[in-house]
Amino acid sequence: MNYKRPKADVVVVGLGWAGSLIAEELTRAGLNVVAIEQGPWHDTHTNYTPTLSADELRYGRRREMLRPPSKETVTYRNNSSQTARPIRDWSYWVQGYNVGGAGTHWAVNSWRFTPADFTMATRVKERYPNEKLADGLIVQDWGVTYDDLEVHYDRFEKIAGISGEAGVINGKKTGKGNPFEGSRTNEYPTPPLVRSRWNDIFHKTTTEMGYHPFPIPAGTIGAPYKNPLGIELAPCTYCGFCGFYGCGNFSKSSPNICVLPALMDRRNMTLLTECTVTKIEKSKDGKTATGVTFIDSNGDTGFQPADIVCVTAFQLDNVRLLLLSELGKPYDHARQEGVVGRGYNFQTMNYAWLYFEDEALNPFISTGALATRIDNFNGDNFDHTGLGFLGGAGIQSLSDQATPLSMTDRLPEGTKKWGSEWKHAFKHSYQNYAKIQGQGTSYSHVDAYLSLDPTYKDEYGLPLIRQTFDYNENDRRMARYIHERVKEICAKTGAKSWKTKAYPDSHNSPYTPYDSGHTIGGAAMGLDPNTSVVNRYQQHWDAHNVFVMGASSYPNNAGYNPTETLAALTLWTAHHIINDYIKNPGSLVR
């Protein structure tokens, strides 16, 4: 059966962080919003009660909060000469499958990117005019700057109750926090988390090495807090069940806790759950969208007409929906033309796994974002002259592993993984294991892209998204440089043994343990319609009433987790829809 719903001012596709934030802004501005979400309704009090939420078997192993690969998946290959195959088991892609999206189960590392991350093309010209970059690397400005986004970063941090310690306020270094960060107008809304024992060791080691350690900003609340929407948040209990889990204590920033309780009571807000949007419909002249088509939980096909379409699904889903809707020119790898799917990037990881001898690291006291970090080697915080690469990594001591099952293989090399020897070793390593993470930048490359798979289809017969990705030469050079820094730190921590790995030394694979879940780009924002899908307001170049929001907009990834930046970009776009677009619909550029 086909049916048509009453027209809305705005239809929002996907109700994660981006969708919730844009819906909150636009309904508050008086617009009539209909949000369409693929997953079911989840709320904190009902779905993640503290008596049930910390269940590692259910959520950590069986990944109950994630979209199952049997529902929809990605096909994957390293390069265009290979045939992509569908990912059929849990991989590093952790897509949400409920109202709140991935914003419900994220591990809450909540970062601002550095000012340089938004303007690397300009920066390279000015600072490194003679450097030769790796062949095929795509370096382009976002069109939006850190200064444009500061007020929106600030607003998101207040909505989410982010805990942390400012390093730079109004251009002045505070002597605490991260001295390399972009200037902030305000301190964090809640105080930083208390350091773990491992954070203490790392803090001492890196201070002695002359670096600048600081507590990372986190969406785990540092103190009781009331956000600007009137919602109360409770202080984090350091239970450590963050990534893959919903927080039943109202302590972890999520759309479900921080936005939806206020949003859902508004009369001009409508939510359709368990409905999958399959296409953005275009007007006859093809210059605007008329609404979206979706398939509901009965299998019926609905059409939601709207004046404005906000595409706010997960990054991979955003790109796929644009390709399925034939909105924008798809990237043609052979000709290196077209934009949709181009500019794909990721995250470049380094790790060290360390084993102490007589420590009591008490890993059961942790959060998804309990880390002390140095940014001395992140982004463009250090001089790259003569290094042959762009970017870098934040190097941090992450105490995020309270979950016991996930630690059962954290044993020194050569230890047996069964029987009494394993039991004995695990008992020892439980209190003595620590990890260092080098979370690195990623730049797009002409050979890395997203496209529709020619063979594999979803349950509705629509092609799956195909990912073609491997690390590029810039990634390898950068990762090796960071690898050396990580090894230097390991040697000074007092650990008995350690193992390190720079991920770009191997081919990328979606099954690599401990790899990042940060899949980025494919619908890049920018200043030139020949190299970007959306303009600096995340407005589609070819259809002015379509706004695409999410990490799909990033032409490059910073050495940080992407969520807070996509939230700030969403609020930036909301500001321009409300203040400029509604009054004068049309392109916001020119």
Partner 1 sequence: MKKTLTLVGVLIVAALVIYIAAIQYDLHKSYPESQQNLTGDALKAQVARGKYLATASDCVACHTAPKGGKPFAGGYPIDTPFGTILSSNITSDKSTGIGSWTQEQFDRAVRHGKGSHGYLYPAMPYNAYARLTDQDLADIWAYMKTVPAVQNKVVENQLPFPYNQRWLLGGWNLLFFHASTFTPQAGKSAAYNRGAYLVEGPGHCAACHTAKNALGGDSSATLQGGNLSGWHAPDLTPNPHTGLGNWTTADIAQYLKTGAGHNSVATGPMAEAVHNSTQFLTDSDLNAIATYLKAQPASDHQAPAALTASNAQMQLGKRVYNSQCSACHISSGEGVNRMIPGFVKNAQVNANSPASLVHMVLTGADGVKTASNPTGAGMPRFDWKLSDQQIAGVLTYIRNRWGNAAPAVTSDEVAKARKALKADSWLGAKMKQ
Q: Which is nearer to partner 1, 364 or 422 (CB)?
A: 364
Query: How many residues make contact with partner 1 (CB under 8 A)?
Result: 24
Q: Look at residue 553 and give its three-state secondary structure.
A: helix
Strand order in the sheet with 214-215: 214-215, 371-374, 393-398, 433-440, 348-355, 497-502
Instruction: Single out the segment in contact with partner 1 by CB under 8 A; choices: 29-37, 39-47, 88-96, 406-414.
Output: 39-47
Q: Are 173 and 162 in contact (CB under 8 A)?
A: no
Among 4, 40, 49, 423, binds partner 1 (CB under 8 A): 49
Residue 219 Cβ vs partner 1, minimum distance, rounded to whole Å? 16
CB crowding 432-445: b at 16 or more within 10 Å, else e = bbbbbbbbbbbbbb
Among 4, 45, 417, 492, binds partner 1 (CB under 8 A): 45
Q: Does 50 bind partner 1 (CB under 8 A)?
A: yes
Q: Look at residue 398 and give its three-state secondary structure.
A: strand
Q: Which is nearer to partner 1, 272 or 352 (CB)?
A: 272
Nearest to 206 by CA among 352, 483, 396: 396
The Cα 317–Cα 327 span in angstroms is 14
Instruction: Single out the segment in contact with partner 1 by CB under 8 A; choices: 47-55, 336-344, 421-429, 515-523.
Output: 47-55
Residue 296 Cβ vs partner 1, minimum distance, rounded to whole Å? 20
Among 51, 70, 81, 170, binds partner 1 (CB under 8 A): 51
Q: Does 228 bind partner 1 (CB under 8 A)?
A: no
Q: Look at residue 394 and give its three-state secondary structure.
A: strand
Nearest to 45 by CA among 224, 232, 285: 232
Q: Does 44 bind partner 1 (CB under 8 A)?
A: yes
Q: Which is nearer to partner 1, 224 or 286 (CB)?
A: 224
Q: Is 518 a catalytic residue?
A: yes
Q: Does 237 bind partner 1 (CB under 8 A)?
A: yes
Give the long-range contacts of residues 495-500, CB within 8 A, separation 24 or more: 495/354, 495/355, 495/356, 495/434, 496/355, 496/356, 496/357, 496/432, 497/354, 497/355, 497/412, 497/413, 498/352, 498/353, 498/354, 498/355, 499/352, 499/353, 499/412, 499/413, 500/350, 500/351, 500/352, 500/353
Q: Does 59 bind partner 1 (CB under 8 A)?
A: no
Q: Bridge-partner residues for 4, per DSSP?
A: 303
Residue 224 Cβ vs partner 1, minimum distance, rounded to whole Å? 5
The Cα 72–Cα 152 span in angstroms is 33
Other Cβ atoms within 10 Å of 231 Cβ, number: 17
Residue 266 Cβ vs partner 1, minimum distance, rounded to whole Å? 10
Q: Are 392 and 441 in contact (CB under 8 A)?
A: yes
Q: Which of 518, 540, 544, 576 is catalytic?
A: 518
Residue 173 tokens, joined: 């270094």
Q: Which is nearer to partner 1, 224 or 494 (CB)?
A: 224
Angle between helices 563-576 and 17-28 (to 10 degrees): 30
Cα 221 to the chain's mean position, in Å? 19
Residue 253 Cβ vs partner 1, minimum distance, rounded to whole Å? 14
Q: Which is nearer to partner 1, 248 or 341 (CB)?
A: 248
Q: Bridge-partner residues for 465, per DSSP?
A: 74, 452
Q: Does 224 bind partner 1 (CB under 8 A)?
A: yes
Q: Does 365 bind partner 1 (CB under 8 A)?
A: no
Q: Which is nearer to partner 1, 167 or 261 (CB)?
A: 261
243-282 footprint of partner 1 as x/- string (CB under 8 A): -----xxx----------xx--x-----------------
Residue 240 Cβ vs partner 1, minimum distance, rounded to whole Å? 12
Q: Which is nearer to partner 1, 54 or 411 (CB)?
A: 54
Residue 249 Cβ vs partner 1, minimum distance, rounded to whole Å? 6
Q: Does 192 bind partner 1 (CB under 8 A)?
A: no
Among 29, 124, 169, 229, binds partner 1 (CB under 8 A): 229
Residue 129 Cβ vs partner 1, minimum distance, rounded to whole Å? 54
Residue 22 Cβ vs partner 1, minimum distance, rounded to whole Å? 19
Q: Are 169 and 99 in contact (CB under 8 A)?
A: no
Q: For residue 56, give the DSSP letter.
A: I
Among 11, 23, 139, 239, binds partner 1 (CB under 8 A): 239
Q: For residue 52, give the DSSP letter.
A: T
Q: Which is nearer to partner 1, 250 or 449 (CB)?
A: 250
Q: Which is nearer to partner 1, 44 or 437 (CB)?
A: 44
Q: E strands of 264-386, at which residues?
A: 269-272, 276-282, 289-295, 301-311, 344-345, 348-355, 371-374
Instruction: Single out the segment in contact with partner 1 by CB under 8 A; choices: 15-23, 45-53, 73-81, 529-537.
Output: 45-53
Radius of gyration of the chain (CA): 23
Among 43, 55, 148, 296, binds partner 1 (CB under 8 A): 43
Find the DSSP H helices in 108-245: 120-127, 146-160, 197-208
Among 210, 230, 461, 513, binds partner 1 (CB under 8 A): 230
Binding footprint of partner 1 on the chain (CB under 8 A):
43-46, 49-52, 224, 226, 229-232, 234-235, 237, 239, 248-250, 261-262, 265
State the catalytic residues. 518
